Structure formats: C-alpha cells, structure tokens
Structure 1
Amino acid sequence: MTDVEHDLRRLLPSGEPSAVAGLLPAGRLVGPRHHGKEVTPVLWLSDGPAPLGLWEELHRGHPRSGLWPLLLAPLRVGDEEFRPWATGELDTDSASEPDWYDPAALLRTGWEYSTTVDSEGDPLDPEEAAELGRSVAPFLTGWPGTAPAAGYAGDPDGAARALARELLAGNPQLRIGLVAAGGGAEALTACGWSGPVNHEGDIAKVSAVLLDWERRYGTRLVQVGFAELELSVAAPPREEETALRVAAEHLAFCPDNIFQGAGTLTAYAPGLIGAEQWSFWWD
C-alpha cells in the first residue's frame, strides 16, 4: 500500500481503499491543532500547486471515492505557511450538523441581525438606520423571504468543472484538498473551516445554506480560502426581481459582500443576473 492510499483510508469512514489515490501528487493529511498538537486528520492537502485538470478528475471520481475535492487558497499571495490549511487552523469542535437547520430560517435570522444592529451588536442610531435603509431598499419592511427555485436547471457539475479550470488559470498557487464528504457544502463542516467566525461560529449553519443553494440554484463549492468561498452557479437569476431576492439572501449569508462591497442591494443585484460564479468573503 502506498503512502497516499494509507492516508486516504484514514480519511474515509469505511476505511476502504480510495479509488483516486493513483491520481494524486505528493501530499499529506492535516487535522485541527489543539495546544500545538494535531488531532484526527480531516483533510488531505497536496504539497504543491494543483495540477491542471486534476480537480475535474477528482470531481468526476467523487461518487466512487467519497472524497470531495476543493481548490484551496492561502491567506495571502506568497503565504509560505499556506494558512489555514497547512497550519491546521481548523476547528471541528464547534460545529453541529447541517441537517439540524432550516436554511430559510437561518437566512431570515441573518437578515434580521444584519439589518437591526451595528458591527458591535448594538442597536442602530437614527443616522445608521437611515443609511441602512438606503442599503437594503427595496426591502425596507423586512425580510422578503427566499427566492423561488430557478426554473432553468443547467448542468451543475459541468459548471463546477468550468469554474475550476478558470480559477486555476488565474491562480497557480491553489492546492488540492480532499475531504470525506458528500459534497462541497458538507466538506466545510467536515474539515472544520472557520472563515466566517466573526459572523457565524457554527460552520454547519453555513453548510446548511449552501446545501439549499445547491438545490435551488445548482451551485457547487469549488474554492475555499482563509475567509472566502467561490461557488459555481448553474441556475443563476435571469431577471431583476429574482436577482434582488437572491441579493437579500447574500446579505443575510455574508453581509460584508454588500456592506463592504457594492453598498446597496440595488447596486449588487444586477451582477447576479446570469452570473455563473458567486464569491463571498468575510472580514
């Protein structure tokens, strides 16, 4: 048995040999570090940049291997430590399970919190409330509810592979990560990613929303950074009304996208129409 085969068997709950071991370059297992010591591994990480085409092969092999591939980015360009991945800055202790949650309820809660308090959790003063009103128009009366599922399904897996090629072409520093999970949404919880910790400490809630978007918009999680996500989208909104509803979901999920980006939902929403990629980042 090769070292790679041995490592992948440690990741899989079944302990069975992995169907993709022969495809992989040199790499190693990574686990969360507690008091300087690494505990149970949750991720296989390539030692070097992801070879072109490998993500697509691993993605196609996922049904047999049980290992979901992620393109992993470091904290910053040129980060030799490759944080948080190679340094084990992961946390599997604080997460619950994605299927515990109603994603629509999570988004409503995220919206209500993001539109009623400031960054310190204090009630908004009148000037802040007026500014917020401009940001969240046309939904001044409150949470509009989640957008309806897209009528056009597209090809979610094909869209994911296309985005992976595009992301790799733009960033040769990306590495391959493998997580024992049913898909990208579950992989975030399984590996203990904690990118949005300043906004949400239980990553299973993030996974629950991503699972819902997989169903409604044909999204797939392709790339994960220190506090960033890149999703392919097979069924994006096609008209303004739906795009505004989706923009409200994005604000509820990741308020920094709007409040530190476009500034208003009406400025943000047009970029979602027909968009085949959604990007999120948390400050």
Structure 2
Amino acid sequence: MGIERSGLSRRAMIAQGAALLALLPACTRAAEPAPAPRWQPEEAKAIEAIPYERIEVPGAQAMARWDALRTARPDVWPVIVGGDEDLARIADQMAMTDLPPAATTLAAAAKLAHPKSLWDLRDKEKADWHGYLKAHPELGPEDEDYVADLGDWPAVPPQETGLTVAEDILTRRPYPHAHILLLPTVQSFEVPAYLKWGGWNACPPPEIHVAAMRRWGEDYGAEIVGITGDVINMRVKRRPATREEAISLAREQYAYCADIVDQGVEDIATLAAGLMASDWWYFWWD
C-alpha cells in the first residue's frame, strides 16, 4: 500500500502544532523561570520610602541624563546614586532614625567654617584615640601620628576618574540600571544633608561634608554629580591655578578623605597634580 501524504507542508504542520500546544493548560507546559527580584523585600520597602523623585536610566546614559536634568529641572538637584545595590544602601541609610533631618544638619553646617571645622574634627579624633590608648595600655604603645608623604611631582598626572558611580568598579561596565534622585534643593553642597550621608568610620558627619562642599563650590565651582554608599563624584568648573594652591588643596582633601591617598595615589603631590589636570574629584571611604 502506498503512504497517504497530507496536504499540509512541513511549515504549516509546525505552525499547527505550536497553536495546539498553546491551547494546553498552563500546568501541562514547562513554566518559564520568573526573573529574580532586584531587591530583597526589606530593601524594596526602604527604597519605596525614599521621599524624593527617582529616575531610572541605563548606566551608560546617566551622565547625559544628569546634564539634561540640570537644565530642565532648575528647581531640584539631581544626584546619581549608582546601581540597584547602591540605591538600596542609600535607602537603608536614609531610614536610620538616629540621624538628624536635613534642616538640622544644614543649621549645624551654617555655623561651621571650612577648613577649620575639618581640622578641628581630625584633632579631636586624634586626641580621643590617644586618650583611649592611654586608658588601655594592653593595646601597646601609641603609634606616631601618620602624615602623608608630599612625594615628587609626577611627570604624568594620574588618570582622570570621571563619573564612576554608574558603573561596576571592577569591570568598568555601566550598570544596566542607574538611579538618579531629585533632591528638593538648588544647592549641590546640601546633598549630604538630604541623604543623611556620612558619620561612619573615618567619613566625616553630614554637616562637615556640607561645610566643605559649600567652600569648594565657592572656590572651584565644585558640584556633586554622583554619590553612593561610600563614594562621591564631584565636577569642578575651575582647577587650582598653581602647584602651591593644588598642594594646599590636596592636603585639605587628604584630611577630608585619607583613603584617596593612603589606598590610592600614595602621596600628596600626585593628588595635587591630578587636581590641576582634571575637572573631576573622587572621594572614597573604606
């Protein structure tokens, strides 16, 4: 007997089979895996509680969007707060009830004169540490106070950091999701107050950040562009004009954030050279 052939082509048969499969109950078909949640429930709750407008963009577009927002939204200050994990960390910090509200921090900062307030803070920390060691001789003798080396002026300044908060620090690949918060202020230096930012390890408390950034804004047109849980990216409109000025500023920034030297460029002269060669300032606290 001959084989009876269907009038359907192979393509038509495949299409018909796919249509029949689609009619099967969902329980008889393999379910597609659900995408992993971007945040844990408690993180998502804290993020939802952030009282500021938030915009999400691909990391590669974060800088362009920030520039556009500075023009389109003169009533707020945009700040790039990093990727998903960074946003969760910012949200967690803002949720801490023992940190003062922005108005309290701004009032405290208004009474401070930078850099004197920064030097006073570091002197107090040093005195407190020496007092602690004296009270606990079992910890051993006191170490000599560490002072960063001036170093030699480099033939080539360090590479410009640019915006770092919208990319992975290890791969330098932009985050798939970067977040921009729109803060209810027109002053860049007030950002740490609104984010309740600082006051851990060697990172100064929020009012010290505000006072420092207010002065740097006056002297160099420095503006906060990005901030994560431990990094600040600032962009300046004016660079130090001389080596002497750059070295003085570098010493000031070392007192503000020692890790950029101790775990970064290694000496004051190299940091100063970078300040003269770049419009970007980078701060990181371990």
Local SS of the residue matching 2:58: coil
Q: Which amino acid aligns with 1:279?
A: Y
Match of 2:120 in 1: 109
The answer to which of 239-248 and 185-194 deviates more is 185-194
Matched, 1:176 2:185: no
Note the alpha carbon deviations across 1:98-117, whole angstroms, 9 max, x for none.
21311222232245357778
Deviations 1:46-68 (A, max 9, x none): 345364532122111343xx221
2 CA distance for matches of 1:39 and 1:191?
A: 15
Within the alignment, does 1:59 sit opposite 2:70 as a pair? yes
**Match in the other structure for 2:231:** 228
Tell me which residue corresponds to 1:68.
Answer: 77
1:88-99 matches, cutoff 5 A: 88-90=92-94, 91=96, 93-95=98-100, 96-97=105-106, 98-99=109-110
What code does the residue aligned with 1:187 have?
V
1:6-65: CA deviation from partner (whole Å, max 9, x where unpaired): xxxxxxxxxxxxxxxxxxxxxxxxxxx9xx8789743322345364532122111343xx
Q: What is the distance in 2 between the residues matched to 1:119 and 1:232?
A: 37
**How far, CA to CA, are the matches of 1:267 and 1:81 in structure 2?**
29
Alpha-carbon distance in structure 2 between the residues aligned to 1:218 and 1:59: 15
Query: 1:275 matched to which residue of 2?
Result: 278
Amino acid at match of 1:197: W
* Aligned twin of 2:52: 43
Alignment correspondent of 1:206: 209
Larger radius of gyration: 2
Check whether the contact 1:70–1:176 (CA below 8 A) recurs between aligned residues: yes
Determine which structure has the larger helix proportion and give its number. 2
* CA shift for structure 1 position 222: 0.3
Say which SS state the counterpart of residue 68 (structure 2) adopts: helix
* Partner Cα separation in structure 1 for residue 88 and residue 47 of structure 2: 15
Q: CA RMSD in A?
A: 3.6
1:216 and 1:171, CA in 2 relative to 1: closer, same or farther beyond 3 A?
farther
Measured after TM superposition, the shift of residue 81 of structure 1 is 7.4
Structure 2, gaps ≥5 residues long: 1-41, 135-139, 152-161
Structure 1 unaligned runs (5+)? 1-32, 139-162
Q: Given the alignment, which residue of 245, 249, 256 partners 1:246?
A: 249
So what's the TM-score if we normalise by structure 1? 0.62
Measure the CA separation in 1 of the matches of 2:144 and 2:99: 33
Deviation at 1:258, TM superposition (A): 1.7
Match of 2:15 in 1: none
Structure 1 residues 122 and 274, CA, compared in 2 at 3 Å: closer, same or farther? farther
